[in-house]
Copies of this chain bind each other. A is one copy, B any other.
Amino acid sequence: MSARDPELAPTFAAIVGEDAVATSPSELLRHGSDESYHQPALPDIVVYPHSTDEVVRVVAECRRLSLPIVPFGAGTSLEGHVTAVLGGISLDMTRMNRIVEVRIPDLDVTVEPGVTRLQLDAALRPEGVFFPVDPGADSTVGGMISTGASGTTTVRYGTMRENVVSLTVVLADGAVVRTRSRARKSSAGYDLTQLFVGAEGTLGVITEAVLRLHPTPEAMTAAVCSFPSVRRAVECVIATIQMGIGVARAELLDEVQMGAVIRRHQLAYAEAPTLFFELHGSRSAVEEQEDELRSLAETFGARDFVRATDERERRRLWEARHRAYEAALAMRPGARGLLTDVCVPLSRLAECVEATRHDIDASGLTAPIVGHAGDGNFHVILVIDPNRPDELDRAKHLSERLVRRAIEMDGTSTGEHGVGIGKRSFLELEHGPAAVELMRSIKRSFDPDNRFNPGKILPDQASADPAYTRAG
């Protein structure tokens, strides 16, 4: 069946129902795009399955018709993950959005992949538990699993990797596998779960997930303070972690980012590198730790140490951090952001941020820096004028230099956004040819016809050929 064949819609409607397929230009455009600077690439059709069984039948139909399948969640990815570079179907999972079961004694929850972060949060809050992983967007659980997402709480609660217990996945041959039991730990065979985490939909379609939950802490307090330099701020974070002060968040905004926020929102902060902390625990423990944190920060030259205990005040204090991206874009009206994402060992973070700031300033671009300092992960928000192609080129060049520097420091080309299209060319530099060949062999063995999200993660071959040559 050729692209946009008029038979496509009835074929899939027979499986999912007429109101669960879409071919309108606006739907195709929305599903062929994400929130990045990457060019959209439109699918031939959008299909909204309602169950694992429907996904199995859709996959079978795609096998018969030789159609690529691009799983789609909220479309909030940042490296072109959901673009349908070879056409085919966009498999929109958002109608599979049931919270199947919350189990408080086991501290886990079974969800369908279309459940969004905020939907899950609202359902869990009254139960006294929470799911900690918080990427900026209101992404779906399936998308968060598929990019190996993280966010501001990783320093304490880990990334998606540490918070996914088990997955149900539809494979290329239509088999449905459950990767693992619900036991807290297991040594029974190869770890299939972690293979699908961060696989960006290239190995199968996730149709159900069991996630780990955490008890809501009795108390949460926030603290903000500024430092004479990024280096001193990072040294403070390192010391904090080593002293065992259990920070739940440790976010760094550089002086440019702070300037943007201050001007945009008239906030009373210093225009200097600033750390935003959050502490979770019992009331007395967080108070004690905040005292320790304050005196520790002051030994690293911290000034204007502000703290907040009650919910409203805490949110207000964190406002600058929450509005960082918006404030960055407001630096140049009409601009859009190109968001980088590297992660380095903590001991190299200050050096990496400083060299990046030097690069930015030399390039003449506008670009605040914001980072999950506790993890060694940071983003540069390159604020570029979409009508000036030279700016996009310069931004890409700068981003590439940054990635190479991070890899040289034994870091990674992407801490949390994933590879998608945007980071494929760095995969071999980061992992070496033998490791990339191993990844390729996994892809071939899981998805021999390159049906699932072709053109993502793996460089070259995968993007060139719809079905690349099988080995042996």
Contact = CB atoms under 8 A, between A and B. Distances in A.
B431 A441 contact: no
Nearest to A282: B288
A215 B238 CA distance: 11
A198 B192 contact: no
Nearest to A242: B215
A1 interface: no
Chain B CB count within 10 A is highest, among A190, A217, A243, A436, for: A190
A376 B165 CA distance: 14
Given A183-B376, A242-B215, A434-B175, A188 B412 contact: yes
A183 B457 contact: no
Nearest to A280: B244
Interface in A297-321: none
Contacts of A458: 189
A198 B194 contact: no
Contact of A183 (B415, B417, B427): B415
A103 B347 CA distance: 9
Interface in A134-159: 147-150, 154, 158-159
A393 interface: no
Interface in A253-289: 281-282, 284-285, 288-289
Contacts of A285: 281-282, 284-285, 288
Interface in A111-168: 128, 147-150, 154, 158-159, 161-162
A187 B439 contact: no
A177 B438 contact: yes
A333 interface: no
A430 B188 contact: yes
Given A182-B345, A344-B183, A432-B177, A189 B457 contact: yes
Contacts of A184: 154, 343, 345-346, 375-377, 415
A185 interface: yes
Chain B CB count within 10 A is highest, among A282, A437, A458, for: A282
Interface in A399-429: 406-407, 410-419, 423, 426-427
A469 interface: no
A436 B199 contact: no
A426 to B, nearest CB: 8
A231 to B, nearest CB: 13
A355 interface: no
A191 interface: yes
Interface stretch (A40-48, A379-387, A442-450): A442-450
A202 B431 CA distance: 22
A423 B158 CA distance: 31
B416 A178 contact: no
Given A244-B215, A442-B445, A445-B444, A189 B198 contact: yes
Contact of A242 (B107, B186, B282, B436): B107
Given A190-B439, A195-B190, A347 B415 contact: no
Given A282-B285, A410-B181, A189 B345 contact: no
A64 interface: no
19 contacts: A105-B346, A106-B347, A148-B186, A148-B187, A171-B434, A182-B410, A182-B411, A183-B344, A183-B376, A185-B377, A186-B414, A189-B436, A190-B198, A190-B442, A215-B241, A284-B288, A441-B446, A442-B445, A448-B472
Given A183-B412, A188-B426, 15 more contacts: A104-B242, A177-B431, A181-B411, A181-B412, A184-B415, A185-B377, A185-B415, A187-B414, A189-B431, A189-B435, A189-B436, A190-B442, A190-B443, A190-B457, A441-B445
